[in-house]
Amino acid sequence: MAAIRVLVAKVGLDGHDRGVKVVARLLRDAGLEVIYTGLFQTPETVAAAAVDEDVDVIGLSMLSGAHMTLAPLVVQAVRARNSDIPVVVGGIIPNQDVTELLEAGVAACLGPGAPAEEVVQTVITAARGEHRRQAV
Amino acid sequence: MSASNPNPRAEWQKAFEESRLRDVPFQTMSGIPLDPVYGTDDGEFPGQYPYTRGPYASMYRSKLWTMRMFAGFGTAIDTNLRFKEIIRAGGDGLSTAFDMPTLLGLDSDDPMALGEVGRCGVAIDTLADMRDLFSGIDLGNITTSMTINSPAAVLLAMFVAQAESAGVPRAKLGGTLQNDILKEYQAQKEFVFPPRQSMRLVRDTVAFTAAEMPRWHSISISGYHIREAGSTAAEELAFTLGNGFAYVELARQAGLPVDAFAPRLSFFFNAHIDFFEEIAKYRAARRIWARWMKERYGATSERSMQLRFHTQTAGVSLTAQQPEVNLIRTAIEALAGVLGGTQSLHTNSMDEALALPTEKAARLALRTQQVIAYETNVAHVADPLGGSHFVEALTDEMEARAEEIFARIDEMGRGSMLEGCITGIEENWFQGRIADSAYELERAFNRGERIIVGVNRFLEGNEEDSLDILKITNEDEAKQRQRLGQVKRERNESAVLDALDRLAKDAVDPEVNLMPALIDASNVFATVGEMMTTMAGVFGRHVEVPTI
């Protein structure tokens, strides 16, 4: 089976890149193919890169509190490209925001302190489309 | 140490007796009188080169550390209220957190600012916001710290403009500008211009404040973010001091004598959870700085050699799980800062792994410092752990590890720490080391070697989490955009264009100091974004090559 391809991304102005780099290495060590597009991306550039690179899943790392604004925009930008690539959001995501993010089309959320296995499993599950099937 | 100083205790005694002391009984709870410091007569004492034991002879007996609580969210009016609350609660220094757009030099109406306005700090677009921020606060009577880097010169200019319009001359302003651009490329990643152009702005602020703002600290050389980004304690120590040496070389290149600006440098370190390692780090930092300033840079003034620092407890040590436990972590970290001799301290709030702090959580964080300061008596004796075989050995080890890293930076810069720091950034050397250390720590956690209470052990109670957290609504964003629109409508547009024209002209000539042009532009209500865009037109913009 081909390796799962994941695009990890930072959208907006949030420069905290410790988490995204740690997660990128965790996923790489777990056998996934990881693409990182760097800081200060917009929902449009992330969606375009994800579609161009034909990834199986997008992982957004968000620590500045802008996830409620930007994560749904990434989902919309991906869907606007007629793509159903699932979007997983991780970082400082308070529990009370999770339901709204899932309703906005985010496949799964990973909160602060999520252990490595949970991060890897959540990304793999999302890549296989299992969150979507549950949601439908 | 005693070679140049035949009688350390007698010298210390003399300096101590010249110090003004706080009017409290310096004794234990049970009435045992305490000496101001303990040690052998021929050993090193506080206030003596190389200052391992503290920069001052009397340390906290003269003055406790400044309880400087970082605050800022929403609009300037909201933050102004929080500032006043901090002053009422007994805080004696203000510390301003700016929102992401401001940190990156963008206006609140910039498309990239969407969702970020007023979220992680206060939004400042023009002098009008600066006025709201400090309304009713006497800037001549309190010290103000501003955590800003890429647009530091712009915000300093606005601050000076605001103070002077309120009748406080710039020479009376006390405070600190973070203005540490090197660590932005290494760790914090809020950069705008390329490194060398950014360093020109740093030079301009250092030269300007050295000449006109004698009470101002022009750079707060910050290890905090390097550590938060994942470095080890030794890397935090070495990268931070290495950056400090780079700024010293920069100012010397600009023709400033070392003793004219080095006393205006201050430092900012992390207080992580490994208690003794942190204390050793602070002690080693003072000793290294003193030696390098004296031996490599030829400083002769004591103030140039005395490293003074601010401490913040480690944000990364906080957990979203069982957040009340963060109060305990923060208390332990704060105590390390105090036993390490910090000059000021910020304690994080228990809810900060989830959001910006509520007023109650921020007050509890300040209370943590007050318990340490007023109940524990730990501030009675300077460097209370000095002389401990363990702490002295760990201090030496931190110093040795830092020296290895300095040697590497010096080699990258072929004998220049300034060039070494810039080259290390351009080659991703610092960034790579920090990412490696962060990953190693994560793997230790995942292997179960590193225990985090409530996260990978002792999970009972995790379901109960229900802290009230601060919610910042999008109304603040809309409000701030309206405010900016109104200021733009009411200002004199041609005066703004003239001011920006002059700024662009000044920017082209690297010999010109940009501060006067920035102050003039601030005074006519040019926005942060307009000034930054004008300079970017000359300087260009930095793009980091993404690496994992």
pLDDT for B217-247, tens place per residue? Answer: 999 999 999 999 999 999 999 999 999 999 9
Q: How far is B287 from chain A (nearest CA, A)?
A: 30
Nearest alpha carbon to residue B398 among B227, B225, B237: B237
Q: Which tens digits make up the pLDDT trace of B392-404?
A: 999 999 999 999 9
* Residue B190 identity (one-letter amino acid): E
- Are the beta carbons of A12 and B116 separated by less than 8 Å? yes
Asked if B190's CB is within 8 angstroms of A15's CB, the reply is yes
Both tokens assigned to B399: 């110093």
Q: Please tell me the distance from the alpha carbon of residue B123 to that of residue A70, in angstroms, as a whole number.
A: 19
Predicted confidence (pLDDT) per residue in B59-107, tens digit: 999 999 988 776 667 789 989 998 898 888 877 778 898 999 999 999 9
Rounded to whole angstroms, the Cα distance separating B64 from B53 reads 16
What pLDDT does B481 receive? 95
Task: Give residue B72's pLDDT.
Answer: 65
Asked if B269 and B285 count as a contact pair (C-beta separation under 8 A), the reply is yes
Domains of chain A: 5-135 (3.40.50.280)
Distances (CA, A) of B355 to A53, B98, B157, B316: 34, 15, 30, 13
Q: Could you give the C-alpha distances from B181 to B150, B196, B283, B308, B387, in angstroms and in order?
A: 6, 10, 25, 19, 36
Phi-psi region of B451 (alpha: psi -120 to 50; beta: other; left: phi over 0): beta
- B442 and A95: CB-CB below 8 Å? no
For chain B, what percent of residues have pLDDT higher than 70? 98
Residue B302 reports pLDDT greater than 70: yes
Task: Give the per-residue SS3 of B324-379.
Answer: CHHHHHHHHHHHHHHHCCCCEEECCCCCCCCCCCCHHHHHHHHHHHHHHHHCCCHH
Encoded tokens for B256: 């400033």
- CA-CA distance, B126 to B177, in Å (whole number)? 18
Q: Which residue from B438, B452, B547 is facing A22, i.e. has the nearest CB?
A: B438
Residues of chain B with pLDDT > 90, as a percent, come to 85
Please report the residues numbered 77 through 136 in chain A whose beta carbons come closer than 8 angstroms to any beta carbon of chain B.
92, 94-95, 111-113, 115-117
Interchain proximity B439–A22, CB inside 8 Å: yes
Tell me: cis bond preceding B50? Omega within 30 of 0 counts. Answer: yes
* Structure-derived torsion over alpha carbons of residues B218, B222, B224, B225, reported in degrees to the nearest 10: 100
Please report the pLDDT score of residue B297 as a whole number. 98
On whether the CB atoms of residues B290 and B50 are closer than 8 A, the answer is: yes
Q: Do A14 and B100 touch (CB under 8 A)?
A: yes
Report the alpha-carbon distance of residue B432 to residue A50 in Å, rounded. 25
Distance CA B132, CA B142 (A): 17
Please give the residue that has the higher pLDDT: either A92 or A2: A92
CATH topology (fold) of B59-464: TIM Barrel (3.20.20)
For tokens 């290895």, name the residue.
B404
pLDDT of residue A64: 81
Q: Per residue in B153-211, pLDDT tens?
A: 999 999 999 999 999 999 999 999 999 999 999 999 999 999 999 999 999 999 999 99
CB contact under 8 A, B189 and A16: yes
Q: Tokens standing for B320?
A: 């979203």
| Binary contact (B548, A21; C-beta < 8 A) | yes
Q: Residue A132 has what pLDDT?
A: 54
**Residue closest to B514 by CA, chosen among B528, B498, B535, B530:** B535
Q: Is B68 helix (H, G, I), strand (E, B) or coil?
A: strand
SS3 labels along B79-122: HHHHHHHHHHCCCCEEEEEECHHHHCCCCCCCHHHCCCCCCCCE
Q: CA–CA distance from B3 to each of B42, B239, B536 (Å)?
A: 10, 31, 53
SS3 B38: coil
Is B370 buried (19+), middle (13-18) or exposed (0-12) by CB count in 10 A? middle
Q: A36 and B114: CB-CB below 8 Å?
A: no
Q: Is residue B34 scored above 70 in pLDDT?
A: yes
| Residue of chain B with shortest Cα separation from A117 | B446
Partners of residue B103 in chain A, C-beta under 8 Å: 13
| Alpha carbons B274 and B439: distance in angstroms, whole number | 18
The edge-to-edge listing of strands for the beta sheet with B309-313 is B216-217, B175-177, B143-147, B93-97, B66-71, B344-346, B309-313, B265-271, B219-222
Cβ B230–A15 below 8 Å, yes or no?
A: no
Is A21 touching B (CB cutoff 8 A)? yes
Inform me whether the pLDDT recorded for B3 exceeds 60: no
Main-chain phi, psi angles of B474, to 5 degrees: -70, -10
The helix (run of H) or strand (run of E) holding residue B385 is none
pLDDT band, very low/low/confident/very high, at B47 (cuts 50, 70, 90): very high
Please name the amino acid found at residue B220. Answer: S
Cβ separation of B355 and A36 shorter than 8 Å?
A: no
Whether residue A123 has pLDDT greater than 80: yes
CB nearest A34 (choices: B321, B446, B548): B548
Dihedral in degrees, nearest 10, Cα atoms B350, B81, B129, B219: -50
The reported pLDDT for the residue numbered A134 is 47
Residue with tokens 């900016």: B484
Q: Counting beta carbons within 10 angstroms of the beta carbon of residue B306, is it exposed (0 to 12), middle (13 to 18) or buried (19 or more)?
A: buried
Find out whether A119 and A26 touch, Cβ atoms under 8 Å: yes
B55 touches B304 (CB < 8 A): no
Contacts of B138 (CB under 8 A, 6+ apart): B168
CA of B12 to nearest chain A CA: how many angstroms apart? 45
Q: Cβ–Cβ of A94/B548 closer than 8 Å?
A: no
Distance between CA atoms of B20 and B61, rounded to whole angstroms? 8
φ, ψ at A82 (rounded to 5°): 55, 40
Summarize chain B as % helix, strand, coil (round to 5). Answer: 50, 10, 40
How many A×B Cβ pairs under 8 Å? 107
User: Which regions of chain B carry the CATH code 3.20.20.240?
Assistant: 59-464
When CB atoms are compared, the residue of B112, B119, B546 closest to A64 is B119
> pLDDT-derived band of residue B137, with 50, 70 and 90 as boundaries?
very high
Q: Flag whether pLDDT at B115 surpasses 90.
A: no
Chain A closest-CA separation from residue B395 CA (Å): 27
Mutate to test the interface with A, among B114, B228, B456, B457 (most CBs of A within 10 A): B114
Residues in chain B within 8 Å Cβ distance of A24: 548
For residue B113, list chain A residues with Cβ-Cβ distance below 8 A: 13
Query: What angle do the packed helices B275-291 and B325-339 form, to 10 degrees?
Result: 30
Cβ–Cβ gap B355/A94 under 8 Å:
yes
Q: Mean pLDDT over residues B133-140, rounded?
A: 93
Query: Beta-strand (E) ranges in B98-245?
Result: 143-147, 175-177, 216-217, 219-222
Burial of B139-159, coded b for 16+ CB within 10 Å and e otherwise, reads beebbbbbbbbbbbbbbbbbb
Q: Which two structure tokens, joined as six digits, stand for B247?
A: 């700024």
Report the alpha-carbon distance of residue B450 to residue B443 in Å, rounded: 9
Residue B31, C-beta contacts closer than 8 angstroms, at least 6 positions apart: none
Other Cβ atoms less than 10 A from the Cβ of A133: the count is 8
Asked if pLDDT for residue A136 goes beyond 70, the answer is no
Confidence class for position A135, pLDDT limits 50, 70, 90: very low
> In what helix (H) or strand (E) does residue B534 lie, and over which residues does it extend?
helix B528-539
Contact between B223 and B180 (Cβ < 8 Å): no
As given in the structure block, the two tokens for residue B475 are: 């109304």
> Testing the interface with B: which of A18, A26, A63 to mutate, by most B Cβ within 10 A?
A18
- The interface predicted TM-score of the complex, written ipTM, equals 0.91
Mean pLDDT of chain B: 94
CA-nearest residue of chain B to A64? B120
Q: What is the DSSP letter of B457?
A: B
A77 to chain B, closest Cα gap in Å: 15
Other Cβ atoms within 10 Å of B250 Cβ, number: 22
